Amino acid sequence: MLQPVKCKNTVDMAIEHIGNYIANNMREGDVLPSERELAEKLQISRNITREALQHFRTLGIIESKPKKGATVASLLPNDVYANYKPFLAISPHTFQDLAHLRLTLELGCAEKAIENVTPEDIEYLQNLSEKIYALSEKKDNDDFSKTFLHEKDMEFHMGIMKLSGNVLINSLLPLVVEFFDEQFLSSLSNEIEFKKGYQEHFEMIDALQNGDLDKLSAVIRSHLNGYLKNYDKKIMEK
């Protein structure tokens, strides 16, 4: 059934006008007109202007800098789902959905990663993997070491996906890598043996170095499927 069209409220209109102004006139690092100037030009109150600007701060598009005011930080959000993570965390399907999304993105990045990878990238990933594997070999890792280990594991996977050069994919990495791992670890604690996964890092590097897309795709698929199998096993035990 068709419903009457509702007029936008003043805050929504202010957000739209300020957004258009930023998109059409500004670059990263540029300083916005002051809150007072914006309010005068838009003929709205400073309270409404402040609320509209907060919208862009929440998105990470603008940030406040001392003695400068509101500055354009990024024209693309750095973490698209930042404000939705608490709600995603309580969904029973979040982990499986994220695993599918991550697998799709990692496989999609593989071809461009092979095209773009440099010897410096290979060296960086190799050094990172060696640190990860060496730490995983220790029998008595404390909580700090385990946290560091998982942080480096995330850094490895984000490093490969960033090789695609796709800025939109980069904005999803905090969700499909960082938040994904947080959900996995909170569900499985430290009971799962990750060593096979860390060994697969070296296989990924080898495939990148040799330009072997089929091998890289196969290892990525094996890596993510290992997460899912362990997760499903744990869930069934509950």
Domains and CATH numbers, the chain: 10-72 (1.10.10.10), 82-237 (1.20.120.530)
pLDDT confidence of residue 190: 46
Contact assessment for residue 90 and residue 121, using Cβ atoms and an 8 Å cutoff: no
pLDDT confidence of residue 189: 47
- Listing DSSP states for 131-187 in one string gives HHHHHHH-SS--HHHHHHHHHHHHHHHHHHHHTT--HHHHTTHIIIIIIHHHHHHHH
Q: Which residue has the tokens 């709205």?
A: 44
pLDDT confidence of residue 230: 64
More confident residue, 163 or 69: 163
pLDDT confidence of residue 69: 87
Q: Report the distance separating Cα 233 and Cα 230, nearest Å.
A: 5
Task: Judge whether residue 169 has pLDDT over 70.
Answer: yes
Task: Judge whether residue 55 has pLDDT over 80.
Answer: yes
Query: Is this model's pTM higher than 0.85 or not?
Result: no
Residue 28 pLDDT class (50, 70, 90 cuts): very high
Q: Letter for the amino acid at 20?
A: N
pLDDT confidence of residue 196: 76
pLDDT, tens digit, 9 for 90 and up, residues 184-212: 665 554 444 567 778 899 999 999 999 99
pLDDT confidence of residue 191: 45
Residues 6 or more apart in contact with residue 42 via CB below 8 angstroms: 14, 17, 18, 49
More confident residue, 206 or 82: 206
Q: What mean pLDDT do residues 3-27 have?
A: 84
Task: Judge whether residue 159 has pLDDT over 60.
Answer: yes
pLDDT, tens digit, 9 for 90 and up, residues 128-142: 999 888 887 776 666
Task: Judge whether residue 237 has pLDDT over 60.
Answer: no
Q: Letter for the amino acid at 220?
A: I
pLDDT confidence of residue 228: 73
Residue 18 pLDDT class (50, 70, 90 cuts): very high
Lowest-pLDDT range, 30-39, 47-56, 194-203, 223-232?
Answer: 223-232
Integer angstrom CA distances of residue 141 from 55, 137, 198, 237: 42, 9, 16, 26
More confident residue, 94 or 125: 125
